[in-house]
Structure formats: structure tokens, C-alpha cells
Structure 1
């Protein structure tokens, strides 16, 4: 017999699966953005201002979390 409790449990399972899919999509988009930023950093575009590359910023941030 299909009751309200079972229906709610099933809906929670569906929501969990949808959440996982959205998280994966966001992770893939973030990965693509970082990849493109790294490509741009490697092009070493001349600039009158010295700006840190994305990799330098990521390293600095990671080091802050290690402390």
C-alpha cells in the first residue's frame, strides 16, 4: 500500500538525486572556468600592472587554510 509516508520518502530521495546532479553541474562549470582562467594566465598578457595569476591566488588561499 502506497501511503503518505512512502510518498514523502520517495520525494526526499528524488530531491537528493536532483541535488547531486545540480552540484555536479556546478562543479563542472567551476572546473571549466578555472581551466579557462589558467589558459588566460599562461598567455602572459602584458600589462602595466603586475597582477597575481589565478594559480598564485589559489596557492595563497590554500596556504591560509593549512594554518
Structure 2
């Protein structure tokens, strides 16, 4: 099953001083520094990762 829905997320908070699990979640999303944006396939797994670090990222665009 292929889907063409994507979601763009931007890192808005620093990983410094955060628990290792949150740092690894940001890396899993492909975010390494504040201001970096990534366009990802909109799946439940990606939505779950975003929810875990919602205080460090924002959804810029969802198509």
C-alpha cells in the first residue's frame, strides 16, 4: 500500500538537556538542529514519534 500523504515537521526546541529517548526520537525523525525541516510520509508511526516530542517540533505542512 502506497500513500502520497506527507507531513513536514520543523525542530523548534533543543535536544540539549533532554532525556536520551527524546534525542533518539528526534534523530529518528531526521531532525538534528533547530530550524531543520523534514518531509516525512504521514503514517501512524511517524505521528507517534511527533507526539513524543511535540514540545520540540511543530508541524509546518501536512498534505
Under TM normalisation by the shorter chain, which class is it?
under 0.3
The answer to which structure, 1 or 2, has the higher relative contact order (CA under 8 A, 6+ apart) is 2
- Bigger share in strand: 2
TM-score (normalizing by structure 1): 0.25
- Bigger share in helix: 1
TM-score (normalizing by structure 2): 0.26
Work out which of the two has the higher radius of gyration on C-alpha atoms and give 1 or 2: 1
